[in-house]
Amino acid sequence: MTHKITIGLFFFISIFTSAVSAEEQKRSFMTAADLPSFGNPPADKRFAYGEDQFQFADLRVPKGPGPHPVIILIHGGCWLSQYDIVHAGKLAKGFADNGIATWSLEYRRVGNEGGGWPGTFQDIANGADHLLKVAKENALDTSRIIVSGHSAGGHLALWLAARKDFKNNSIFSSSNKVQLNGVLALAPVPDLALAHKKGVCDNVIDKLMHGSPSEQPERYAMASIPELLPIGLPQILVIGRFDKNWFDAGNHYYKKALAANDKVSMIDATESAHFEMIDPDSSTWSMVLKAARELLEIKK
């Protein structure tokens, strides 16, 4: 009986994979080469949260008096310096045009002086907390804040949410941490140990953490999201059905978060690969916006 079930399951998977491949061949999905076409709609204001040139946040505020709910937005790009905040401007404006203020973070990445461990993580923490210093004067509702990130930014968004449980930590301590209502992770890469094993982005994890999991176990324990479960905040993952490189990474984390009894749900973005979900002109945008509104408890 087990043999028959195994054969049947294999047959089903083979048919499904063939169907996906055939459908994929009919479609043309976005790649990194399409990012420059997104443009960079100007922010309303730019705030420095540190002295380095990459330590700043772009604020976009919806029309109306507020106070406005807020998304802390973290761009992706393999944690590498060559991928900066510019391509996230369209997504940030898309949220702001739909009633959600965006606090879009730039941060030091691998290839920037001070990037990698711990600088990249310190920037995310400090940049997020700086929001509290400008919230009142910009009509931001600090009782309704979520964090969202794409790809490597999805990892950092989940990390920011998990940071609330760090106790007496000299690296990431803060007397006034931003309080989050949830996480919207778009094609995230949460498991750094697994990413290191797979050699993603030309072995960038070794550069990000300045070593392998066996060489730097304490760092991975503080930075790889499965090691920090349960996060204890609502999480919505958006995974592109045709995202060849990161589909497994998102699903791998989803299963681990469920096993840890975390508050996690997953959206199967059936018309997306890796980049459609950050383009407000794509058919996947409605899913992303709906998920953000759900986490912020916006009744629309």
Alpha helices of 135-172 — where are they, by DSSP H? 152-162
Residue appearing with tokens 């009744």 = 299
Domains of the chain with bracketed CATH: 31-296 (3.40.50.1820)
Where are the extended beta strands (E) located within 10-84?
A: 45-48, 56-60, 68-74
Q: Which residues pair with 80 in a beta bridge?
A: 110
Question: 3-state class of 171 per DSSP?
Answer: coil
SS3 content of the chain, % helix, strand, coil (to 5): 45, 15, 40
The DSSP output letter for 50 is S
Lowest mean pLDDT among 112-116, 140-144, 172-176: 172-176
Cα 223 to Cα 220: distance, rounded to the nearest angstrom: 5
- What's the pLDDT at 12? 35
- Assign 175 a pLDDT band (cuts: 50, 70, 90): confident
DSSP one-letter string for 199-220? THHHHHHHHHHTS-TTT-HHHH
Question: 3-state class of 34 per DSSP?
Answer: helix
- What's the pLDDT at 8? 40
pLDDT digits (tens, 9 = 90+) for 32-63: 898 888 888 999 999 999 999 999 999 999 99
DSSP one-letter string for 72-115? EEE--STTBTTS-GGGGHHHHHHHHTTT-EEEEEP---BTBTT-
Lowest mean pLDDT among 9-18, 90-99, 289-298: 9-18
Cα 248 to Cα 240: distance, rounded to the nearest angstrom: 10
